[in-house]
Amino acid sequence: MSQPTNDVPMVNLTIDGRQVTVPKGTVVWKAAQLAGIEIPIYCYHPKMPPLGACRMCFVEIEKMPKPPQTSCTTEVTEGMVVHTDTELVKKARQGTLEFLLINHPLDCPICDKGGECELQDFTLRYGPGASRFDLKKRHFQKPIPVSENVLLDRERCIACQRCVRFTQDIAREPGLIMEERGFRTMVGVDPNAPFDSIFSGNTVEMCPVGALTAKSYRFMTRPWELRRTPSVCPGCAVGCNVRVDVRVDRVLRLMSRTNDAIDDGWLCDRGRWGYAAVNDPDRLRVPLVRKNGELREVTWDEALDAVAQRLRTLSPAQIGGIGSTHTTNEEAYLFQKILRDGLKTNNIDHFHGVFPAASMNASSGATGAMPWVFTGTIAGLDHAQEIILLGADPYQQQPVLDLRIKKALRNGARLTVISAEPSRIDRIAHRVMRIKSGGEAAIARTLTQVVVAEHLWRGTFAEVNETQLARYGERLKDYTPERIAIAFGLEAEDLRTVARTIAGAHGAVIVYDEMTTRTTGNETLAADVLDLGLLTDNVTQPNAGVGPLFSDANSLGARDMGVLPDVAPGYRALAKPGLDYAAMLGGGVRGLWVMGADPARHMSDPAALAKLETLVVQDMRLTATAQYAHVVLPALSYAEKTGSFTNLERCVQAVRRAMPPLPGARADWEILRAVGNRLGLNWTYRSPSDITKEIATSVPLYADLTREALGSQGQRWNFAGGREADGVLSDGGQLPANGSLPLSH
Amino acid sequence: MAEQMRVVTKDIEIPGIDTLAVYQAHGGYAALRKALAMEPVAVMEEVKISGLRGRGGAGFPTGMKWSFLAKGSSKPTYLACNADESEPGTFKDRMIMERLPHRLVEGVLISAYATGTKTAFIYIRGELKQAARQVGRAIQEAYDAGLAGKNIMGTGIDIDIILHRGAGAYICGEETALMESLEGKRGYPRLKPPFPAAAGIYGGPTVINNCETLSTVPLILANGGAWYAGIGTEKSKGTRIFCVSGHVNKPGNYELPMGTPLRTIIDDYAGGVLGGKRVKAIIPGGSSTPMLDASKLDIPMDYESVAAAGSMLGAAGVIVLDEDTCIVGAVLRMTEFYRDESCGKCTPCREGTYWLVELLERLEHGGGRGSDIALLRDICDNISGKSFCPLGDAATSSIISSIKLFADEYLYHVTQGRCLVGEGARQAIAAH
């Protein structure tokens, strides 16, 4: 929050004799933290405004009246002299700790927080040795479920209000409230609104004591028994940074690792508690081969031989591969490589949204805006002025982005929701337009039509292409606000207003859900939105951006790695594109290799899979698809392997092995390597890093990628290729030679 | 009985003065008319000259407070009348609102005009139903007569007055908690800065004044600031409504010049101590102000003299305790109030007041220990100056001052297990 920037003046102060320089506006507590000086505190949370309620963070500041002062509410000033260890401060801290403990049960030995409890730790470090409170402590019924997943032990609560402030101010949802007053004050559930937030787990993580606990973690372990590994949440395309806490061979919880650029310190419940799949006792542990119509357990050698033998009997045109949006970049890369190099086929695809043919951008791929990549950044949303959700529901699909949008709203952004279905954020949106499903593309065209008709275009792209705009407007002549307003029951003027705000904003963000493009009518949505962005200069402007919100942890990675029929990794166009997802599943191939996907879910008649001569499936579970397979290979979860994921803004982040692999199962890359060698590819990859190196040298989009470069919080590989390069439109103004432009439809 | 000096309460005895017609017949709203003919800054100047200081307790100069109002804000400015009178021992605002509601309404209108405010809120304590009814009716009458709302008295000036009733929380008398409550939120005090003058109600610059303070303004306008400044003492100008309660023959409100001796107030106005007993202690400014013993009976009741005597004039709620009052019992009762009225936001006040009551209770009922007295003092030290808002400090005043003045009574409770005086003195020693 207080990162030094060029425009914020710095302030010098002294804390306990140490010289500290921090940006103006920093509170004393934060300045001390930056200087490595601990000041105990409870109610303060770096992502929320100071409250000043716990009265724990006392310091003495020279020349300030009425010492001691609370360091969380006092901003630094030039020349300030702060002491954190005077007798006055020590006594005040002891007083507060004694107060906090008069009704706090000393049940640390059975409390899940014991060992990582701020009350325990600070009492040890700063508290009085003994309490003078010799009366009866209060007791409550316990635990009290405040939601499906969160339990409250009321007597442990120290009323710091972190949880209540999170739900009210950060998540902006009803649920938790402060009840009663004075010494009866307690956290409770709003009688008029259940605590059903998808962000509820954050309250557990923020709770400084053991008052709020997760049902899934309660009494499962002592915190010092956990092995903690930094990794990335596999739950969706946001790529929140997590710490995977494992006890022996089970994941027991995911905690936030706070990446300000991505998750801002939050996780959603779906991600936080999604690890059940890793611990699932029904996971596959032994390879299966179909014999006499039934899947039988076999050795790995037998299973791998069967795969190689079955695939060899088919011609390249008869073979297809369906890749995954959940496996790592390294695995996605290797999957397309084995199909292309080993089996000589381009019949490769995965389940994804509808975008302009990837090959269309081939020549400008390394330099132009790709219609399938959000052109802004997640962090840039903080200061966007207008946010348009056009058929996107981040709360359900990319939940932590919902919190980012709410942060933007706190910063003054205006939110417009245009969608077929109601969403939870509608309640706080400035404008909600309900349309028919599949109408999103028409809305985008209408907005563009207004921009062209009213001459609202701006920016280099529009200037360079000004001569073509009239022709483009002509092409959009059917998309008048009046006509579209009638079709959807909207007000034409509202559509005009939205278009004008987009065109006038200092940073407009326009996003749609990847899967919205699959709705009939939205086939051109990606191009339409990019057009709107280009003409209103919202593609490369700071705090602006247009594009899709992907569904899965490595949706964009699968694309980038060329798990597509028409392009090789990095969108190099192929002369002879292969069959796509629908064609392969529609009978286009006789042998299908599925890695980490369950296409049966998308088929009206999954039984058609039974017609395949060969179906090979790599997965953690016996999926609906695997039930039709001839060979099933047990795979590992993200928690058991290393690799990288690419999030929706093309931040590439390291996934690290957090636990020993499930005995009997293998990582997808290991499986691919074994099959590759049986196909005569003579692969010598010893680890995913070897594959990473190959990607870095052979895929321009990921040039120079190394695991070291990813560090602990990932690296954003920009659409211009290479690390953090400038977008092309802001750099010379040449439009992508054959982008998705006006001109493309 | 000696005559009061009626300034704020002028004409209060006149039947029907709570109605617009009678109020106007006695010169009501003439001050408003006079003010509206002046420049707002001139009105403010008049109040500055008067030396009027806030009657809510802190005694901050009113005119200066008005001049602090932030200028050039993008948000509207507001005026708030703090009529959340909840301090034990005070009942002056209630009387003004019930019997002279138009004086308040007129004062609010003049003050709003002086501060350039178009919207004024009157926040009335929830329990004061009759006061809210009376003020509500007075506002309606003022609107109907063109004295409030749009185009007041044909001058083109618009001022709206909105009556808001609290839900019964002492903390909402704290100015920022009042604003939270007014906005429909839980009554927690806000972090300062920003101060209300910069960002108050709905984030707009806000002037907040006590009910008595605002009700004084019409008289200052009518008679001039210099006239008002001629009353009282050099630094504590004007009159004060002393709310006298406790062991006196005639408890009630007495408006007198600042600096009137405490003994005069008790003996000449409040009819002396009940039953002719002696005074043991006086709480001069409401229950949040430190106690004084009988040796201070001759102090003049102005801000400076009371402070010099070791207490505060506060809201001028004079509580008289006679010689048969068990100090521990009285302090317990007051501390229970602060425990129950603590908002619960900050740790020392929330937990400390609870602990204090537990200790006082066991002392009062014979279960106390010798160390409890020192413990009480130390707990008070851990609350005082450490709590978020002044409520925590307030809760400790009676304990600290009473232990200082009446330590023997506490010790008696420890050693004898019962009260030194009063009803409790006759009770058997509690078994423990």
Q: Is residue A359 within 8 Å of A567, Cβ to Cβ?
A: yes
Which pLDDT score, from 0 to 100, does residue A729 have?
30
**Chain B residue at shortest CA distance from A187:** B344
Among B187, B209, B229, which residue terminates a domain?
B229
**Chain B residue at shortest CA distance from A183:** B350
Please name which of A133, A695, A324 lies closest in space to residue B372, comparing C-alpha atoms.
A133
Name the residue facing B350 among A51, A56, A183 (closest C-beta).
A183
- Report yes or no on B29 lying in a domain: yes
Token look-up 């303060």 returns A44
Picking from B345, B383, B432 by the largest number of A CB atoms within 10 A of its own CB, the best residue to mutate is B345
Name the residue facing A182 among B343, B375, B379 (closest C-beta).
B343
- Report yes or no on B9 lying in a domain: no
Among B167, B198, B229, which residue terminates a domain?
B229
**β-pair type (A591-595, A319-322):** parallel
Would you place residue A472 in the very low, low, confident or very high pLDDT band (cuts 50, 70, 90)?
A: confident
Looking at the fold, whether B314 and B331 belong to one and the same domain comes out as no
Beta-carbon contacts of residue A170 (< 8 Å; ≥ 6 apart):
A47, A48, A199, A202, A266, A403, A406, A407
Chain B residues in contact with A96 (beta carbon < 8 A): 347-348, 382, 386
Torsion of CA A418, A419, A424, A428, to 10 degrees: 10
Would you place residue B72 in the very low, low, confident or very high pLDDT band (cuts 50, 70, 90)?
A: confident
CATH number at residue B114: 3.40.50.11540
Looking at the fold, whether B31 and B76 belong to one and the same domain comes out as yes
Chain B, 312-351: which have a CB under 8 Å from a chain A CB? 339-348, 350-351
Looking at the fold, whether B184 and B315 belong to one and the same domain comes out as no
Please name which of A557, A515, A727 lies closest in space to residue A648, comparing C-alpha atoms.
A557
Chain B residues in contact with A187 (beta carbon < 8 A): none
> In this structure, what token pair is assigned to residue A582?
């629908």
Domains, chain A, ordered by start? 10-100 (3.10.20.740), 118-214 (3.30.70.20), 288-354+554-716 (3.40.50.740), 379-543 (3.40.228.10)
Question: What is the pTM assigned to this prediction?
Answer: 0.93
Looking at the fold, whether B54 and B28 belong to one and the same domain comes out as yes
Over residues A412-438, the pLDDT tens digits come to 999 999 999 999 999 999 999 999 999
Q: Is the pLDDT of residue A742 over 90?
A: no
Contact B382 A135 (CB under 8 A): no
Contact B346 A66 (CB under 8 A): no
Looking at the fold, whether B174 and B294 belong to one and the same domain comes out as no
Q: Is residue B94 within 8 Å of B129, Cβ to Cβ?
A: no
The CA distance from A323 to A333, in Å, is 10
Would you place residue A673 in the very low, low, confident or very high pLDDT band (cuts 50, 70, 90)?
A: very high
Would you place residue A735 in the very low, low, confident or very high pLDDT band (cuts 50, 70, 90)?
A: very low
Chain B, 178-207: which have a CB under 8 Å from a chain A CB? 186, 191
Picking from B195, B346, B361 by the largest number of A CB atoms within 10 A of its own CB, the best residue to mutate is B346
Picking from B185, B341, B350, B377 by the largest number of A CB atoms within 10 A of its own CB, the best residue to mutate is B350
Which pLDDT score, from 0 to 100, does residue A461 have?
81
Chain A residues in contact with B375 (beta carbon < 8 A): 132
Which pLDDT score, from 0 to 100, does residue B348 have?
98
DSSP code of residue A75? B
Dump strand ranges (E) for A504-646.
Answer: 508-513, 545-549, 567-568, 572-573, 591-595, 614-619, 631-634, 643-646
Name the residue facing A92 among B186, B343, B386 (closest C-beta).
B386
Mean pLDDT throughout A577-606?
97
CATH number at residue B352: 1.20.1440.230
**β-pair type (B78-83, B119-124):** parallel
Which pLDDT score, from 0 to 100, does residue A493 have?
97
Contact A53 B347 (CB under 8 A): yes
DSSP code of residue A168? I
Q: Whole domain around residue B131: which residue ranges?
A: 20-229
Looking at the fold, whether B135 and B152 belong to one and the same domain comes out as yes
Dump strand ranges (E) for A66-189.
Answer: 69-70, 80-83, 144-145, 150-152, 176-179, 186-189
Looking at the fold, whether B88 and B192 belong to one and the same domain comes out as yes
A9, A31, A70, A86, B238 from A89: Cα distances, Å: 30, 17, 10, 5, 43
- A 10 A CB-CB count for B427 gives 12
Looking at the fold, whether B215 and B243 belong to one and the same domain comes out as no
Q: Is residue A672 within 8 Å of A338, Cβ to Cβ?
A: yes
Chain B residues in contact with A60 (beta carbon < 8 A): none
**Chain B residue at shortest CA distance from A72:** B191
**Chain B residue at shortest CA distance from A133:** B355
Looking at the fold, whether B57 and B161 belong to one and the same domain comes out as yes
Looking at the fold, whether B148 and B173 belong to one and the same domain comes out as yes
The CA distance from B171 to B177, in Å, is 6
Contact A52 B191 (CB under 8 A): yes
Over residues A278-289, the pLDDT tens digits come to 999 999 999 999
- Report yes or no on B372 lying in a domain: yes
Q: Is residue B146 within 8 Å of B157, Cβ to Cβ?
A: no
The CA distance from A44 to A57, in Å, is 9
Chain A interface with B: residues with Cβ < 8 Å: 50-56, 58, 66, 68, 73, 91-92, 95-96, 98-100, 102-103, 132-133, 135, 158-159, 161, 178, 180-185
**Chain A residue at shortest CA distance from B392:** A182
Helix (H) or strand (E) holding A123: helix A118-126
CA angle B322, B327, B331 (to 5 degrees): 120
ipTM for the assembly: 0.95
Over residues A506-534, the pLDDT tens digits come to 999 999 999 999 999 999 999 999 999 99
The CA distance from A177 to A185, in Å, is 10
Mean pLDDT throughout B319-342?
97
Among B256, B289, B322, which residue terminates a domain?
B322
**Chain A residue at shortest CA distance from B346:** A53
Q: Is the pLDDT of residue A230 over 80?
A: yes
**β-pair type (A631-634, A614-619):** parallel
Chain B residues in contact with A58 (beta carbon < 8 A): 386
- Report yes or no on B187 lying in a domain: yes
Over residues A38-56, the pLDDT tens digits come to 999 999 999 999 999 999 9
Number of folded domains in chain B?
3
> In this structure, what token pair is assigned to residue A137?
């402590």
Name the residue facing A102 among B351, B371, B385 (closest C-beta).
B351
Which pLDDT score, from 0 to 100, does residue A728 have?
32
Name the residue facing B342 among A100, A102, A181 (closest C-beta).
A181
Chain B residues in contact with A90 (beta carbon < 8 A): none
Chain B, 143-172: which have a CB under 8 Å from a chain A CB? 169, 171
Looking at the fold, whether B286 and B394 belong to one and the same domain comes out as no
Looking at the fold, whether B26 and B175 belong to one and the same domain comes out as yes
The DSSP annotation for A285-336 comes to -S-EEEETTEEEE--HHHHHHHHHHHHHTS-GGGEEEE--SSS-HHHHHHHH
CATH number at residue B270: 3.10.20.600
Contact B351 A178 (CB under 8 A): no
